[in-house]
Structure 1
């Protein structure tokens, strides 16, 4: 994990491996900031959706029990949302480096779409 201090806040960049481990351990809330269409096509199981276009830092849950980690398709939008949260006074925030693309490249499990039926389908790790 990379950490930087900016405006008195801690901004962390997590790897897909770190996110997967923290999710399995129940330590984080993963928030997907992609569009609803992107999320419906494929997403990380258990990730919540808060599209960047509708992002409101004041609607974020507290982080007393679980940390918040944002992700998007490539890491660009999640970094922007993280920095926007810091600008509103959030003291610690994180995003996943490389986004969903890095997650898939690391061969992590996710929920995709069966192109024949349009139904959700589990894509196993590996």
Structure 2
């Protein structure tokens, strides 16, 4: 994990591998800030949807010591939303470097719509 300093505070930036390992152990809450349409087409198993369009930091779930990690398609929107959290409540927040694109490039499992059947299924890009 690396750390960035923004105008609003310290922001942790996690790799897809770090997110995958922590998510599998139940150590983080992963929140997808993409649109509902993007989430429907492909998503990370276990991620919650909280679209950027209506994103308000005060509505994030309370986690105690459990970190919240945001993600999007490329890392741009999640970085912006994480900085917004810092500006709104000065709390700890992280985002995933490279977003869904980096997750897929790393060969990690994700749920996608099978174009032949229209059903969601777990897949990975090897």
Give TM-score, length-normalised by structure 2. Answer: 0.93
Deviation at 1:118, TM superposition (A): 1.2
What's the secondary structure of 2:53's corresponding residue? helix
When the two chains are superposed, the root-mean-square deviation of aligned CA atoms in Å is 1.5
Query: More deviation in 83-92 or 73-82?
Result: 83-92
Deviation at 1:4, TM superposition (A): 3.0
Q: Which runs of 5+ in 1 are unaligned?
A: none
Distance of 2:55 and 2:98 partners within structure 1: 20
Deviation at 1:116, TM superposition (A): 1.3
Deviation at 1:125, TM superposition (A): 7.0
1:78 paired to 2:78: yes
Q: Which runs of 5+ in 2 are unaligned?
A: none
1:106 paired to 2:106: yes
Aligned residues of 1:27 and 1:65 also touching (Cα < 8 A)? no
Deviations for 1:62-85, whole angstroms, at most 9, x for unmatched residues?
Answer: 231421000000000000000011
How many residues in Structure 1 have an aligned counterpart in Structure 2? 126
Deviation at 1:3, TM superposition (A): 1.2
Distance of 1:25 and 1:15 partners within structure 2: 16
Give TM-score, length-normalised by structure 1. Answer: 0.93
Aligned residues of 1:9 and 1:92 also touching (Cα < 8 A)? no
1:36 paired to 2:24: no
Aligned residues of 1:10 and 1:91 also touching (Cα < 8 A)? no
Aligned residues of 1:82 and 1:94 also touching (Cα < 8 A)? yes
What's the secondary structure of 1:64's corresponding residue? coil
